[in-house]
Structures are given as C-alpha cells and as structure tokens.
C-alpha cells in the first residue's frame, strides 16, 4: 500500500509494531520505524511538530485489544491534522480470536479483535473521528471486513 501511495506523490512513514516486519522492510531498502501506537511517541521524527495528513491502517488495528482500541484511535487523531483522513479496516464479527500461522520459515501467533459496525462507529466518534463511511466487504470467502473512511474532527 505504501508503494502505491508514494506513486501518487504521497509521503509515507512506514511503521510496524513487529521488529521482524520492520527489519524486513529495511532489508528491502525502505525506511521503517518500530512503533507501538499504544505507548510510543507517534510524531514523525523527521517532522516532529507537523501533524500527519492521514493514517492508513489497513488490517493492522485488528491486533489492538478491544480495551485499548479507543485509546489508539484517540492517539492517532491527536497527531493527525484537522480534516486529515483515516482509512482503516478491521474484521467484521464478534469477540476475539488467536490466529497461528505455523510456517517453518516464519511462525507467528497473534490476537485479532472483531468489530460490528455500531460499536466501531462509536469508538471512532468517541476518539475524535468523523465517520464518512463504513463498508462491509469480503476478503477471502467467509472472511468479512469493515472498511472505514473517516476524517479528523
């Protein structure tokens, strides 16, 4: 996604909470920052006093625990300019799940939080985002997602 945004002339800050993914990006020649959106300073170290124009959080907020979700959304809003855009996608459903990918080359295990539209919309609004659309869309068969478009209040 970052490459496509850059092709369109958008400056991108690549971040990930996983050191493995950050290292993979760096090995591929990209600048990337290790960043925990719950606890780390979210300001861009290249432009510390400049708010972001937007946040692209495609399939990454699914890993934020429900009890931390509002705080993460609020922290993202705080570092985004008024009117700045948010694109996020989360899994549609109820509850939480632990996923495991037992690949010898890259075994991993992670938690996923599922959302229904009313609760998601409420969390976004409470965190300072104005929701313009939430679309339900299918990834793989029987793999439903909620795609969010919002702007900073």
Instruction: Kindly state whether residues 60 and 28 are assigned to the same domain.
Output: no
Evaluated on CA atoms 51, 55, 60, 64, the torsion sign reads: positive
Instruction: Kindly state whether residues 86 and 25 are assigned to the same domain.
Output: no
Q: Would you say 52 and 84 are in contact if contact means Cβ atoms under 8 Å apart?
A: yes
- pLDDT tens across the length of the chain (153 residues): 999 999 999 999 999 999 999 999 999 999 999 999 999 999 999 998 999 999 999 999 999 999 999 999 999 999 999 999 999 999 999 999 877 666 665 555 568 999 999 999 999 999 999 999 999 999 888 889 999 999 999
pLDDT given for residue 135 in this prediction = 97
Q: Which of 138, 119, 7, 113 is nearest to 60 (CA)?
A: 113
pTM score above 0.85 = yes
pLDDT given for residue 30 in this prediction = 94
Instruction: Kindly state whether residues 57 and 91 are assigned to the same domain.
Output: yes
Instruction: Kindly state whether residues 28 and 58 are assigned to the same domain.
Output: no
Flag whether 44 is in a domain. Answer: no
Flag whether 31 is in a domain. Answer: yes
Flag whether 96 is in a domain. Answer: yes
Give the residue numbers spanning the domain of 129. Answer: 50-152
Q: What span, in angstroms and rounded, lies between the C-alpha atoms of 130 and 147?
A: 14
Q: Would you say 108 and 100 are in contact if contact means Cβ atoms under 8 Å apart?
A: yes
Instruction: Kindly state whether residues 139 and 70 are assigned to the same domain.
Output: yes
pLDDT given for residue 10 in this prediction = 92
Instruction: Kindly state whether residues 104 and 66 are assigned to the same domain.
Output: yes
What is the number of domains present in the chain? Answer: 2
């Amino acid at each position: 996604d970052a490459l496509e945004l850059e092709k369109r002339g958008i400056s991108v800050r690549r971040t990930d909470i996983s050191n493995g993914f950050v290292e993979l990006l760096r090995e591929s020649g990209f600048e990337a920052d290790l960043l925990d959106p719950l606890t780390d300073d979210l300001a861009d170290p290249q432009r510390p006093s400049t708010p972001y124009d937007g946040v692209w959080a495609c399939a990454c907020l699914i890993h934020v625990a429900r009890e931390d979700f509002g705080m993460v959304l609020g922290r993202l809003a705080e570092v985004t300019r008024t009117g700045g855009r948010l694109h996020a996608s989360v899994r549609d459903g109820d509850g939480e799940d632990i996923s495991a990918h037992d690949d010898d080359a890259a075994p991993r295990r992670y938690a996923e939080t599922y959302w229904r539209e009313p609760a998601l919309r409420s969390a976004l609004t409470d965190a300072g985002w104005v929701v313009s659309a939430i679309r339900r869309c299918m990834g793989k068969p029987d793999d439903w997602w909620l795609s969010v478009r919002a702007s900073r209040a």
